[in-house]
């Protein structure tokens, strides 16, 4: 099955973390906060929640700590109807990730607690017990490759997905604080990209893999011509360029008054996959993903802000339309 056929099947196994997000209310700075909003977070969990809200099926593979934060995450996965049969609770000193970020754009601060993170304990057994024949596509974000044993387990999940004829959708999602060195990250993320059928990243991430931001666009083109069916090269407020089948498709964004910068990439991925699963053409799928990203940055929270289908359609009807795509 090619990438589009698997995505149209609408049954996703999502590999990666779930965590707890805390954000000060009333757009306060964290150091001046008196109240906090709590929500489910973690890139993979956010993507999975977004997929389910848009009418698809998503199951998560990860580990959480055996404590109140871990149990909160399990309850939230249930709340969003994300399958958690492959979420393992572990005992020990590892802890589920906690993110504290502000609902503000100017002087935005995020503090991520991922020292000795529970999700990095994902093992070969965790991914080998998954019945990949029950799914039609695999999604992950780059953080799963940062540390062992999660790195080896994630690559094993890629191998098993390929054996089951599932396309691999990879969000590069490079976060320097998780990696032992930039050199290791570049090597490992490039290896993951070479194994993937759909790759989504921004100009800095592709540039990082290529050895310089000025080489990022060429890297995206090369991946599309060599191994990947679809490569999305994101350029922030300037939109994106998508490479597929020899075509290069520029698309813009849907400008909104943002209240935070977080969650946009996760929502984009969910909206993009949902649109492709519905049989929409590539340009429309990218634009719908961009609309989902705009919806999320305009609201507090990440998983709670992910739109459902009605919210997405209303936004598209009410918004005057996307900006022109980037020129090359």
* Cα 180 to Cα 106, 117, 175, 176, 206, distances in angstroms: 30, 14, 11, 8, 19
**What pLDDT score does 213 carry?**
87
Please state, as a whole number, how many other Cβ atoms lie within 10 Å of the Cβ of residue 131: 11
Q: What is the pLDDT of residues 182-193, one digit of tens each?
A: 999 999 999 999
**What pLDDT score does 286 carry?**
98
Question: Per-residue confidence at 212, pLDDT binned at 50, 70, 90?
Answer: confident
Say whether domain 3-315 belongs to CATH 3.10.450.50: no
Q: What is the pLDDT of residues 166-183, one digit of tens each?
A: 999 999 999 888 899 999
Residue 143 structure tokens:
């953080």
Predicted confidence (pLDDT) at residue 327 exceeds the cutoff of 80: no
Q: What is the mean pLDDT of the chain?
A: 95
Q: How far apart are CA 36 and CA 210, in angstroms?
A: 40
Quick check: 65 and 74 in contact, CB under 8 A? no
Question: Per-residue confidence at 27, pLDDT binned at 50, 70, 90?
Answer: confident
Question: Per-residue confidence at 211, pLDDT binned at 50, 70, 90?
Answer: confident
Question: Per-residue confidence at 257, pLDDT binned at 50, 70, 90?
Answer: very high
Predicted confidence (pLDDT) at residue 315 exceeds the cutoff of 70: yes
Query: Which DSSP category does 328 fall into?
Result: -
**What pLDDT score does 39 carry?**
97
Query: Which DSSP category does 117 fall into?
Result: B
Q: What is the pLDDT of residues 68-124, one digit of tens each?
A: 999 999 999 999 999 999 999 999 999 999 999 999 888 999 999 999 999 999 999
Q: How far apart are CA 224 and CA 227, in angstroms?
A: 6
Question: Per-residue confidence at 26, pLDDT binned at 50, 70, 90?
Answer: confident
Please name the helix (run of DSSP H) or strand (run of DSSP E) that holds residue 312, with its range, or none: helix 309-318
Phi, psi of 281 (to 5 degrees): -70, 165
Who contacts 207 (Cβ-Cβ below 8 Å, separation ≥6)? Answer: 213, 214, 215, 216, 219
Torsion from C-alpha of 258, 80, 265, 292, nearest 10 degrees: -60
Domain range summary for the chain, segments of one domain joined by +: 3-315
Write down the pTM of the prediction: 0.97
Question: Per-residue confidence at 1, pLDDT binned at 50, 70, 90?
Answer: low
Q: What is the pLDDT of residues 287-313, one digit of tens each?
A: 999 999 999 999 999 999 999 999 999
Q: How far apart are CA 298 and CA 294, in angstroms?
A: 6
Quick check: 66 and 121 in contact, CB under 8 A? no
Q: Tell me the average pLDDT across 222-238.
A: 95
Q: How far apart are CA 46 and CA 73, in angstroms?
A: 11
Strand order, beta sheet including 36-41: 36-41, 19-24, 98-101, 110-113
Predicted confidence (pLDDT) at residue 328 exceeds the cutoff of 80: no
Q: What percentage of residues in the chain have a pLDDT greater than 90?
A: 91
**What pLDDT score does 251 carry?**
97
């Amino acid at each position: 099955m090619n990438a589009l056929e698997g995505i149209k099947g609408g049954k996703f196994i999502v590999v990666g973390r779930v965590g707890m997000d805390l954000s000060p209310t009333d757009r306060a700075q964290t150091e001046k906060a008196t109240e906090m909003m709590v929500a489910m977070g973690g890139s993979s969990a956010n993507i999975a929640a977004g997929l389910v809200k848009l009418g698809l099926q998503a199951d998560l593979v990860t580990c959480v700590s055996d404590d109140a934060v871990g149990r909160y995450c399990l309850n939230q996965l249930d709340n969003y109807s994300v399958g958690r049969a492959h979420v393992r609770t572990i005992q020990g000193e590892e802890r589920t990730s906690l993110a504290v970020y502000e609902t503000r754009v100017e002087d935005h601060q995020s503090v991520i607690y991922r020292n000795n993170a529970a999700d990095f304990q994902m093992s070969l057994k965790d991914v080998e017990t998954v019945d990949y024949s029950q799914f039609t596509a695999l999604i992950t974000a780059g953080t799963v490759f940062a540390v062992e044993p999660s790195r080896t387990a994630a690559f094993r999940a890629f191998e098993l997905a390929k054996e089951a004829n599932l396309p691999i959708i990879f969000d590069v999602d490079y976060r320097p604080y998780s990696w032992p060195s930039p050199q290791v990250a570049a090597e490992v993320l490039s290896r993951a990209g070479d194994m993937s059928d759909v790759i989504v990243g921004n100009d800095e991430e592709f540039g990082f893999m290529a050895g310089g931001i000025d080489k990022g666009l060429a890297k995206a083109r090369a991946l599309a011509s060599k191994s990947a069916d679809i490569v999305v090269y994101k350029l922030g407020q300037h939109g994106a360029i998508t490479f597929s089948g020899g075509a290069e498709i520029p698309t813009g964004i849907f400008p909104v008054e943002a209240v935070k910068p977080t969650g946009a990439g996760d929502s984009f991925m969910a909206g993009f996959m949902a649109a492709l699963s519905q049989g929409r053409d590539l340009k429309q799928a990218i634009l719908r993903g961009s609309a989902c990203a705009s919806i999320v940055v305009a609201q507090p929270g990440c998983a709670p802000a992910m739109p459902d289908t009605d919210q997405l359609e209303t936004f598209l009807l009410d918004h005057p339309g996307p900006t022109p795509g980037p020129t090359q």
